[in-house]
Structure 1
């Protein structure tokens, strides 16, 4: 199987220029599915910290690059929405956040905010033993005893012990960001959730600084106001 990816066919979320070269690196299997951006692209093309795959491998071999609190040694490891990148030697920290048009961008954050990450709940089910398991947007799973958390809510997960330190319900009045569709990257407050009969997606009406936006439920993620800047990623509940 080829280890190359044509730039013209990469997902829209990838922060790469499609016409500069024919090929770019292909992401390994892992979190975020096909939308995951190889770490090498962020290190080389976005941040400019390395010039080649060889340099990236050397840098990652120092265990000073963390993704969600864990040292990463694979330059093709997929990075996606709301992941936390920490460069310990540089004392630099970034949150992966959807920009206008749905492209992933790196938002500088402080060290405290780098200790946790946001996750959208995309699944909830009972597992053996009666525990409740949540599935997040990046494929991660969590066992919880809080029955109030439900699908389309967002949670803030500690990178240290994977515990939930904050919970943001999906409801009218919630602050959300669109992560796909024509309104990707825009932030506003949910004014109405229109439940659609049958298998069609629910619609969401959002007030973004006086502008009325309409999108589908799948495209919005509940956030805290702190996620729009570089401050902490949610208060403990």
Structure 2
């Protein structure tokens, strides 16, 4: 199987230039499906920490790069929205967050914020033994008791060390959300209305942002907490001006 991917055909979420070269690295099997960006692309093309795949492999073999609290050794490991990328030796921590146009960007965060990650509940099923299994947007499965209040479209926060759920945000009118795809990707606001579409079509939501209101399909929004609008958001703006969140 080839290890390369033509740049012109990569998903729109990948933060790579499409016309500078013919090929880029192909994402391996793992979380986030086809939208996941190979780790080496972020290390080399976005952050500029390495100059080649060989250098990336060396860095990963020293356990100096953590994804969601775990050391990663595969340079093709897919990285996607809300993942936490940590470089403890450098004292640098990033959250993967959608930028304008839906491209994934790296938002600088502090060490405390890097201790947990957000996940959107996409499915909820009963498994043998009577427990309930939650499947998150990146494919992660989490087992919870049957009497827990989590539901699809809600968001949960998982501690990267204990892997336990430490916070829960319900999807409802008044919830703080961000759009993860579409023309409003990266915009944060409050859900003011959920419009149910009869039949097989997607429901739509109206979101009231700081600058303007917008309407998008329900699948595109994820419930977040206020940490996404405070110091972390300001750090992202500063970093964007310095070229961290863009090539």
Query: What TM-score range do you get, normalising by the shorter chain?
Result: over 0.9
TM-score of the aligned structures, taking structure 1 as reference length: 0.95
SS in 1 for 2:59: helix
Whole-angstrom distance in 1 between the partners of 2:119 and 2:58:
30
Any stretches of 5+ residues in structure 2 without a counterpart?
233-247
Does residue 32 in structure 1 map to residue 32 in structure 2?
Answer: yes
1:121-174 per-position Cα deviation (integer Å, ceiling 9, x unaligned): 000011111101100000000001253110000000011121110001000000
1:23-62 per-position Cα deviation (integer Å, ceiling 9, x unaligned): 0000000000000000000000000000000100111111
Residue aligning to 2:199:
198
TM-score of the aligned structures, taking structure 2 as reference length: 0.91
Q: Which moved more, 1:106-115 or 1:207-216?
A: 207-216
Computed over aligned residues only, the root mean square deviation of the Cα atoms, in angstroms, reads 1.0
Any stretches of 5+ residues in structure 1 without a counterpart?
232-237
**Number of residue equivalences:** 231
With over 3 angstroms needed to count, the CA separation of the structure-2 counterparts of 1:64 and 1:210, relative to structure 1, is closer
Whole-angstrom distance in 2 between the partners of 1:228 and 1:81:
16
Does residue 159 in structure 1 map to residue 154 in structure 2?
Answer: no
SS in 2 for 1:218: helix
Question: How do residues 59-208 of structure 1 correspond to structure 2 at under 5 angstroms?
Answer: 59-145=59-145, 146-208=147-209
Q: Which has the higher helix share?
A: 2
Whole-angstrom distance in 1 between the partners of 2:154 and 2:166:
14
Q: Shift of residue 212 of structure 1? A: 2.0
1:93-124 per-position Cα deviation (integer Å, ceiling 9, x unaligned): 10001111111000111111111000000000
